[in-house]
Amino acid sequence: MNDDGIEVLAEQKTLKVLPDIKIILELISKGVSLKDTLNTLVDYIETNSKEMICSILLLDDENQLRHGAAPNLPEDYIRSIDGTKIGPNKGSCGTAAFRNRQIVVADIANDPLWEEFKELARIYDLRACWSAPIHSSTGAVLGTFAIYYHKPCRPSQFHLQLIEQAVYLAAIAIEQAKVEENLLKSEQESHRLRVQLTEAIESLTEGFALYDADDRLVMCNSKFREFYVESADILIPGQRFEDHIRISAQRGQIADAVGREEEWVRERVKQHQNPKGSYRQKLRNGRWLLISEQKTAGGGIAGVRTDITRQVLYEEELRTSFHLIESIRNLLEHYIVDSNSDQVFEDLLLTLLNTSDSEFGFIAEVQESDSTSFIIRASKRRSAQDELPGFHTGPLSAILESGHLKTFFDQIVKSGEAVISCQSGEDSRLGSLAQDLFESELNSCLGLPIYSQGKLAGVAVIANRPAGYDEEYVEFIKPLLITGGTLIKAHRDEIVRVKNERALQISEERFSKIFHLNPLGKVIINFNTERLIDVNESFLITARYAREEVIGKTIHELNLFADTVRWQEIVGIAHKEGMVYDQETLLQTKIGEKRSIQCYACLIQTAGEPLLLVMYKDLTEQKHARELNRQLQIQLQHGQKMKAIGQLAAEVAHEFNNILVGINMNAELLLMTAENELPEEYRGPIQEIKNSGERATELVKQMLSFGRKKVPNTSWINLNMLITVHQNMYQRILGEAIKLQVNLDSNTKPAWADEAEIEQALMNLVVNARDAMPEGGTLAISTQNALFTEDQIAREYGTLPGSYSQISVIDNGCGMSAETVEQIFEPFFTTKPAEMGTGLGLSTVFRDISNNGGFISVESQLGQGTEFRIYLPQDQGKTVEAENIAPATSHDPITGGTETLLVCDDEESVLTVVSALLEKLGYSVIKALGPSKAIQAARSHIGKISLLLTDFNMPDMNGQQLAEELTQLDPDLKVILLSGMMGDILEYGDDFELIQKPAKIGQLAQKIRKVLGDTDRSGF
């Protein structure tokens, strides 16, 4: 079945279906009419092929298709389509004849080619029609051969071959009938002309002469003189017949008289004087005359000369065609009866030589593995039937070393057409080819490509045909070449068959080994009786049986499948679909143990009863592992979701960072305004703006941590000491209404983690617990050691087994539902009011704990509180170097200066506020909106630029690239890089100073003075 839902018919394996050429030849030899011959051919094909209905239509001189043969098509249908004129949309047959190519209509009801005849086909339930044109030996369309089906379908390769064979045989029959028809017409025309000759001698196309009783010429017409033009000067009344023919013979006009003139004159005079019917005479110019003479009432002789040159050529062509057909038949017979399929090449070559009357030749076969490589299969001299001295069987490459033959041979292969040479002396391709390879004089040569199913199968080269070679002869010999291609294909198929038989034997031996040694359990069961026919070793090991205990027993006797209902379902699927995949069931062993198996089954149709091949894989151990992996998959999916959301959060935070720079620094700039310039009532709101901006800055830092992977500053940390140091801070966060209980196990081992991240995680959990107990309560923090086995870890947490340090954080607050617990670690998920929660606290905890190789679990019920358990590895980590970027405090005095600073940022708002603050601090500021402006300003500025303060993340050129460009202009130029995402620029910390945005004015001022030194500074 194709993608379009139309069936492709199955291949038929028997060769009996293909009609034999003997069918046509026997009918022709018996003189059977064309109609009966075609009906016999159609009957043969339909009898040996299921469902198909065949039809042959003949193309008349007016390009109309006429009924030829269709014994099983309805008579009304035949009458309806008889006389259909061919065209581009005239059904399958009319279109095939018009387009001169095969037409396959798989679904008549939906094919536009049948639009005119669709209703007619529906009446007689004709659903598919494949039609091919029938060609004459000259390529003209004689008619069509069609196959109808009562269902939509497409032909298989076999059906295409069947159509090709049927078209070939029908062409032979039709063309033979036309040859006979033409021959009959020629004879009738000659007779008509002889009758009319007596009435209008001069106007006839035949020569006429009348001799008197003394055998002297009485009269002759102009046609007679034309025939004997060389002796026309003596064709005058009174000229004796014997004198005329003697002069004609002496002048070389008569072909049969050359070299035996007097003998021929005597024979001819005797024939003339005792006329008995007609006879043929060949003139030296190639013309053939039919001589008819008879005695007149007065004792004279009346003679008619009819030009039968065309008739003779037709007869010669017909004899040659019969000879070719007989040669093909003999060739096919030899192949059928000869046990040595290699003999086909020698038989084909001898047939070519005998048919063409060529002196010698050879055949080379194309290697199927390499289309450019050939093997000599046969070489013969026709007279002695011995091998050519230069062409022993074997690879052609050595022979092709002759440059002349290679040129000749390459032209055949590349063009794919016959190559003719009839002038060896002038043909540069032949040169000394004859003497070098054939050891004979080469007068003419013909190279013929042999095709099989559209592919080049071999090349035949024949030479020295007395009549030479031409395109007409190449067309004539094509049926033999087609037969040769078919036989070469059959020869190759035979080689494949023998090879396949051997491969089958090897395969059976291999199957036996694979079956019995396969690690999968295998059982062969009689499908009808459910008795075990064979089992392999894996089955015996799994089921704990000996072979003799199970062979011949039924499934039910052994009670092999504990779930009998499930087993019957598997058997039902196998019976319906032929195959069963991935079906799980239980196999019961001899000792009663039930093993979980993954079952496959295949229904096998044999000559006897159907068999069921059952294969299974023992899943008992794998199921345990599968369950252990399930939790790991859940953790992995959760981590991937957090990573994706974190990347989105980082992008949003990066853009928000630039906004915060303007808000925070403008607020600080206003607060630095002198008291007399800024009313006191404005300072409070401005301070609130600054405080809100700083809170937003902390939120942005949390968001950025999702999108930038930070290398943990891991070390061995004492969790008991960490909690003790921060105990008072925890209590301040909780407030007076919540009691803090700390229970630290002194035996708790140090954990391998980033101390800052663990501090942040505990802080978030404490804040979360406080918000869960608005009416007050108790928060308990405890530590202890935990050891997880491989099975326990895989089943519950999906991480590495080993020793962990556990921190428990337990509150007796409002608790959470199961649905909430499932989502609490997702970014931006919160149950708090919008003004209290961001949804990043617990997701940050999850991220921080995971980054340190640990994991976190939670248990909670509504109204009963919540318990978080943090597990940090004790022996799975490794030491890494910590990053040391100490932020400046905001409590130090703000210090300015008088130096010239170049400030660059691609955000105009950020550039404006930073420049204003620096000018407020006393600096001379050069502003540049983007790297290109900064480079231009640096090059045009007259004077010293002490420091470049630039954003790192800018389009076209980042801050580090800008700094490198400007330090080439001034190596003493100091550089500070600003970025909202420090992870992007940490690698440049050794070359330039770094500061994170949004920075407070105090941090920025201190960093600038640190870089420039204490000179030229001023305080605020």
In three-state form (DSSP H/G/I as H, E/B as E, the rest C), the secondary structure along 691-750 is HHHHHHHHHHHHHHHHHCCCCCCEEEECHHHHHHHCHHHHHHHHCCCEEEEEEECCCCCC
Q: Are strands 777-788 and 738-744 parallel, antiparallel or unpaired?
A: parallel
Q: How far is CA 537 from CA 513, 544, 554, 581, 749, in A?
A: 11, 10, 18, 22, 52
Q: How many CB atoms lie within 10 A of CB 557?
A: 12
Residue type, 141: V
pLDDT of residue 286: 83
Distance (Å, whole) CA 602 – CA 610: 10
Location of structure tokens 């006879």? 279
Spatial neighbors of 218 by CB under 8 A, at least 6 apart, are: 210, 211, 212, 237, 300
Phi, psi at residue 542, to the nearest 5°? -70, -45
pLDDT of residue 225: 86
Distance (Å, whole) CA 646 – CA 638: 12
In the chain, the largest separation of any two C-alpha atoms, in whole Å, equals 165
DSSP class of residue 240? B
Distance (Å, whole) CA 866 – CA 859: 6
Look at the chain and count its residues.
Answer: 1020
pLDDT of residue 257: 84
- Mean pLDDT, consecutive 10-residue stretches, the chain (1020 aa), reads 67 56 77 87 83 92 92 92 92 93 92 92 92 90 93 88 88 87 81 64 82 89 86 88 87 85 87 84 87 88 87 80 78 72 81 85 79 76 60 51 63 82 58 53 83 85 86 85 84 82 79 77 87 87 88 87 84 86 86 85 82 85 68 61 62 67 72 69 72 64 53 77 86 88 91 83 87 90 86 59 89 86 72 55 78 85 89 63 38 75 88 86 91 91 90 86 90 86 58 77 83 66
CB 353 within 8 A of CB 462: yes
DSSP 457-520: EEEEEEE--TT---HHHHHHHHHHHHHHHHHHHHHHHHHHHHHHHHHHHHHHHHHHHHHHH-SS
Q: How far is CA 322 from CA 28, 173, 891, in A?
A: 10, 12, 118
CB 98 within 8 A of CB 90: yes
Angle between helices 931-940 and 959-969 (to 10 degrees): 10
For the beta sheet containing 777-788, the strands, ordered from the edge strand earlier in sequence to the opposite edge, are 738-744, 777-788, 802-811, 866-873, 855-860
519, burial (CB in 10 Å: exposed 0-12, middle 13-18, buried 19+): exposed
Distance (Å, whole) CA 499 – CA 508: 14
Which helix H or strand E contains 267, and what residues bound it?
A: helix 261-273
Long-range contacts of the stretch 607-612 (C-beta < 8 A, 24+)? 609/526, 609/527, 609/528, 609/529, 610/526, 610/527, 610/528, 611/524, 611/525, 611/526, 611/527, 611/533, 612/524, 612/525, 612/526, 612/527, 612/571, 612/574
Q: CA torsion sign, 389 to 393 to 398 to 404?
A: positive
E-only strand ranges, 87-140: 103-105, 128-135
Distance (Å, whole) CA 493 – CA 823: 68
Residue type, 276: K
Residue type, 692: S
Distance (Å, whole) CA 767 – CA 859: 17
| Cα atoms in the 13 Å half-sphere on the side-chain side of 1013 | 6
Q: How far is CA 538 from CA 286, 364, 451, 508, 711, in A?
A: 88, 53, 52, 20, 51
pLDDT of residue 356: 83
Q: What is the pTM of this model?
A: 0.34
